[in-house]
Amino acid sequence: MKAIQVKEPGGPEKLELVEVQTPTPGPKQALVRIAASGVNYIDIYFRAGVYKADLPITLGSEGAGTVESVGPDVTEVAPGDRVAYAMARGSYAEYAVVPSALLVKIPAHVDFQTAAAAMLQGMTAHYLTHSTFALKAGDTCLVHAAAGGAGGLIVQMAKMLGARVFGTVSTEAKAAIALESGADEAILYTHVDFEAEVKRLTGGRGVDVVYDSVGKTTFEKSLNCLRPRGTLALFGQSSGVVPPVEPAALAKGSTFLTRPGLAHYVLTREELLWRAGDVLKWLDSGTLRLLIHRAYPLAEAAIAQQDLESRRTTGKLLLLP
């Protein structure tokens, strides 16, 4: 089978299309024929060596496809099932072996590309808005990269919960996308100081929570945007790693700072089925809208990652084996 591997850390040029043996599922595993794979920043972190893994690495942490075969002791799925998953590396390939407990069946009216695009970012948006800081009617939040894949879903879920939503974007075109997703205000950080704008929009109070996937370039101002006892949920680092933080920096507002990750919000299969089930159900019903920016052939994985790193894209990027 064909797969995209990294044999040494580096830039997009380190992504190689290789021929490898099709894997065989072991106990509590399923072999999935991949129809679509999501492209995410975590793939870039592994490629660049920010996150460590044994080499060579087959990238991709999210996919959708059909169960080809199962190993012993598998009860969750059967051959022929249409499934999607996240948090199992190896989806930049024609086939992937996945722990069966991570597989979720796809509703009949949801296609493979939509399912692959929804799992990681959809469940991320779900845990951020429903658990990390559980929004309720009347709350106010700031969402960075509000026209991106995760950002757009956070905006929609926040509005579903009755929150007032501010979203930062870099262009007028992205502002239109954020507003279409439901943001009450789209803040062009390239034209205005987003901290000053948030303070103006909230009458100096600040927001209840900031959902920050950008990291280094936004972190300090994100803290300053919070009301007293507000929460900064730093769930990504697209602009770089945030330098070490002195605990005293949180004292001026008794601020809560968390660095959440999806794995800790799907600790049980029941929690996984709750989050993935909500996301796929909302997509099936049209309650949640997903924007797919582009689907690339598997061989163009390097181009897809370059496009994602450029921050010129809107919505989700996919690879098609």
Angle at 263 between CA 44 and CA 150, to 5 degrees: 55
User: Do the first three CATH levels of 2-120+265-320 and 136-259 match, i.e. the same topology?
Assistant: no
DSSP lists the bridge partners of residue 33 as 66, 95
Q: pLDDT tens digits for 195-239?
A: 999 999 999 999 999 999 999 999 999 999 999 999 999 999 888
Model pTM?
A: 0.93
Nearest one of 203, 213, 207 to 233, comparing CA atoms: 213
Q: Cβ distance 276 to 153 under 8 Å?
A: no
Burial 306-321 (b: 16+ CB within 10 A, else e): bbbeeeebbbbbbbeb
Q: Cβ distance 213 to 236 under 8 Å?
A: yes
Angle at 89 between CA 83 and CA 94, to 5 degrees: 60
Superfamily of domain 2-120+265-320: Medium-chain alcohol dehydrogenases, catalytic domain (3.90.180.10)
Nearest one of 54, 78, 57, 58 to 68, comparing CA atoms: 78
Kindly indicate whether the domain formed by 136-259 is annotated with CATH number 3.40.50.720.
yes
Q: Classify residue 33 as exposed, middle or buried by CB count within 10 Å of its CB (0-12, 13-18, 19+).
A: middle
Torsion of CA 153, 137, 180, 166, to 10 degrees: -80
Name, in order, each residue with C-beta under 8 angstroms of 253's C-beta and a sequence gap of 6 or more.
Answer: 206, 223, 226, 227, 228, 229, 230
Q: pLDDT tens digits for 83-133?
A: 999 999 999 999 999 999 999 999 999 999 999 999 999 999 999 999 999
Q: pLDDT tens digits for 251-308?
A: 999 999 999 999 999 999 999 999 999 999 999 999 999 989 999 999 999 999 999 9
Residue ranges covered by each domain of the chain: 2-120+265-320, 136-259
